[in-house]
Amino acid sequence: MFKIPFLDLPPLRGAAGTVRLPGSKSISNRVLLLAALSEGRTVVRDLLASDDTAVMLESLRTLGCAVWREGGDVVIDGLGGQLRAKEAKLFLGNAGTAMRPLTAALSLLAATQGGSFEVSGVPRMHERPIGDLVDALRGLGCEIDDLGNAGYPPLRLRGPSTLALDTPVRVRGDVSSQFLTALLLALPLVAERDIRIEVIGELISKPYIEITLALLARFGIQVRREGWAAFVIPAGSRYVSPGEVFVEGDASSASYFVGLGAIAATDVPIRIEGVGSESLQGDVRFIEAAAAMGAEVKAGPNWLEVKRGAWPLKGLTLDCNHIPDAAMTLTVMALYADGPTTLTNIASWRVKETDRIAAMATELRKLGATVDEGPDWIRVQPLQRWQAAVIHTYDDHRVAMCFSLAAFNGLVTTAAKPVRILEPHCVAKTFPDYFETLFGVVSVDVADVPVITIDGPTASGKGTLADETAKLLGFNVLDSGALYRVTGLAARRAGLDLDDGDAVAAIVPTLQLRFADGQVFLGQEDVSARLRAEATGLLASQVAVHPQVRRALHQLQLDFRRLPGLVADGRDMGTAIFPDAALKVFLTASAATRAERRYKQLISKGISANIEGLRADLEARDERDKNRSTSPLEPAQDAQLLDNSALTIEASVDQMLAWWQQRRPF
Ligand SMILES: O=C(O)C1=C[C@@H](OP(=O)(O)O)[C@@H](O)[C@H](O)C1
Ligand SMILES: C=C(OP(=O)(O)O)C(=O)O
């Protein structure tokens, strides 16, 4: 996950390949709750691991449920409808699928068994309505206190109290279908007699009710229904664990890759694994909308394949009530269409993670688009003159994911613009690795991938500065010195004469190198510590003088230029390897400062050292690096000079980011 303040997406050019979707949020949280209410053990396979499921899991644990991981599975020993904890405070983040169903279940359990439970969430959750559900539960006899504004969380659910189950439970269905889902999931707890639920008003987001009913059936509860107007939970209903449940991939998460295929898969399709024609989730019908916009879609039971069909895409007018989450993706696809796209019947967007109609309109306009909106609709015009934009994401995962598709503007305009996504980690609500997954299937012109180079003499702090800068930008890191060190080490181990440039260069293509989590592996061996040793540094300096070796390592270094960007440190990054880098920095510090830093570093590792000797070594190494004929150590002409002798690391990083920001079009 990119846990950084912003993620810059350079212009993206194409898409191909296969993605495996994370588990469905809606199915995951329903299954977790049903498993917890059931008797017996449930093994849940392919459960979504994200913020929304984390708050559900944590709540179930707090309520006394045994929940543990076994390999990739989650195992739950259900409570069998018996409360173990009678008091708890549950924090439910911004997960509607946790807040609404837990409110219903705990209200009923508190009524019948006694107890006091508080449910709360992030500030936005306290603005998301729950009043219709609370009214229905109060109508049944549940005791619910508003701890904030009436009609919104936080709430206290307490009991015991007497339930009146002989009259129908009435619930409004036109603000959120989750209120009905919550009652359907929870009322079997008290179904000593038939319990009838009647829906008032036009039920929205109907396909989510189908998910609820299908999963209730898996757990032994056969709800009788009268269309969408009334539902009856039969007397004597009892949750029975099916033993094992597979969670299918998330159909709403699929929408970004369906959109991606429609826009950018010109040759090979994007294959999406985890949902398909047999999906339980209504949001899979997003493919019909994408097809209506021109996408070529094939669907198998558990997979989709999408590629570009009509281009530009075709604008459309669509009632999106049945695909409320996935439909957001259409508003960004609409930018690539031949005419306006109008989405209607989407009033619920206004009460989700943010006011999504307002958010999409505001952010699309930043790209240059013309957007109109009404209480329950949005209209987006195709975009010709794209602007580089900083996209606010409002802590809404879907806003962040949708706007990644704006980075393909280079497919419709010559002056391609990057897109900055603020707070990209908000995708963790349902798809923590969204951007990594996206980067796995998109193509880019390598020249568009931004590079920052940091060159400078030994012990100037390049590595630390590169790592810290990269961490803040979410960029990859190339420690080119490590490549020379590893080459020197491998050459020495192979018994080569280090002065024989041809022989040393010849082993470069045979190196089994792997960089993972900041560590360097040579074959199976983690050589990171070895590479940092002084002795290896000397080997590096010896092999680095040979032009053949430098040539052999050239392509290897270029290969580090990958999405979303690169910070490369070394001695010739800005001069020889990445001459087109957008920001080049030449980092220095006085020999005295560098010797002192190296001294402290060694002493802290328990290695004895002599500061004068270190300084002499450093100066000798500087001389050798400056005077070698191939790629001598010198600042690129367009490099910024940074002397960090008197600077803290934070101050140096701030300077890097300030220079970087000056070069960005935002
Ligand atoms: O029941 C569910 O799992 C959901 C129902 C929908 O909400 P509304 O019924 O409020 O539209 C949907 O937007 C949400 O992401 C998940
Ligand atoms: C509306 C959404 O979430 P929630 O389950 O919190 O309602 C969503 O995921 O788009």
Tell me, using a 6 A CB cutoff, whether residue 237 lines ligand 1: no
At residue 618, does pLDDT exceed 90?
A: no
For residue 325, indicate whether it is catalytic: yes
Q: How far is Cα of residue 348 from the mean position of the Cα atoms in its chain?
A: 24
Reduce the DSSP state of residue 94 to 3 states and report it. Answer: coil
Task: List, in order of start, the domains of the chain with CATH numbers.
Answer: 6-22+252-444 (3.65.10.10), 25-246 (3.65.10.10), 449-475+564-666 (3.40.50.300), 480-556 (3.40.50.300)
Query: Does the pLDDT value for residue 333 go beyond 90?
Result: yes
Q: How far is the CA of 326 from the centre of ligand 1 (A)?
A: 11
If you average pLDDT over residues 371-388, what whole number do you get?
97
Q: Is 325 near ligand 1, meaning CB less than 6 Å away?
A: yes
Ligand 2 geometric centre to CA of 354 (Å): 10
Write down the pLDDT at residue 533. Answer: 85
- How many angstroms separate the CA atoms of 633 and 630, rounded? 9
The string of DSSP letters for 312-351 reads SBPP-EEE-TT-TTTTHHHHHHGGGBSS-EEEES-GGGGG
* Ramachandran bin of 316, using left for φ above 0, alpha for ψ from -120 to 50, beta for the remaining angles: beta
Instruction: Check residue 518 and give its pLDDT.
Output: 78
Give the CA count within 13 Å in the CB-facing half-sphere of 585: 28
What span, in angstroms and rounded, lies between the C-alpha atoms of 79 and 103? 17
Average pLDDT over residues 247-255: 98
CA–CA distance, 561 with 557 (Å, rounded to integer): 8
Q: Which ligand is nearest to the CA of 24?
A: 1
Q: Kindly state if the Cβ of 281 falls inside 6 Å of ligand 1.
A: no
For the CA of 56, the nearest ligand: 2
Ligand closest to Cα of 96 equals 2
Find out whether the peptide bond into 129 is cis, omega within 30 degrees of 0: no
Q: Which pLDDT belongs to residue 440? A: 98
Residue 348 CB–ligand 1 contact under 6 Å: yes
Residue with tokens 């739950």: 76
| Ligand 2 centroid from CA 207, angstroms | 14
pLDDT in tens, 533-575: 878 988 998 999 899 999 999 999 999 999 999 999 999 999 9
Whether 95 lines ligand 2, by a CB cut-off of 6 Å, is yes
**pLDDT, tens digit (0-9, with 9 covering 90-100), for 411-462:** 999 999 999 999 999 999 999 999 999 999 999 999 999 999 999 998 899 9
The average confidence (pLDDT) of the chain is: 96
With a cut of 80, say whether residue 42 has pLDDT above it: yes
The residue nearest atom 1 of ligand 2, judged by CA position, is 352
pLDDT for the residue 617: 87
Atom of ligand 2 nearest to the CA of 324: 10
- Judge if the beta carbon of residue 177 lies within 6 A of ligand 1: yes
Residue 517 has pLDDT above 90, yes or no: no
Atom of ligand 1 nearest to the CA of 100: 1
pLDDT at 601: 82
Q: Angle at Cα 208 formed by Cα 204 and Cα 336, nearest 5°?
A: 75
CA of 177 to the centre of ligand 2 (A): 11
Residue 316 CA to residue 371 CA, distance in Å, equals: 14
% pLDDT > 90, the chain: 92
Task: Return the closest-CA partner of residue 368 out of 328, 419, 444, 327.
Answer: 419
Residue 629 scores a pLDDT above 80: no
Ligand 2 in reach of 352 Cβ (< 6 A): yes
Q: How confident is the model at residue 48 (pLDDT cuts 50, 70, 90)?
A: very high
pLDDT in tens, 451-495: 999 999 988 999 999 999 999 999 999 999 999 999 999 999 999
Supply the pLDDT for residue 537.
Answer: 87
pLDDT tens across 269-279, in order? 999 999 999 99
Cα gap 300→323, rounded to integer Å = 20
Contact between residue 305 and residue 293 where contact means Cβ atoms under 8 Å apart: no
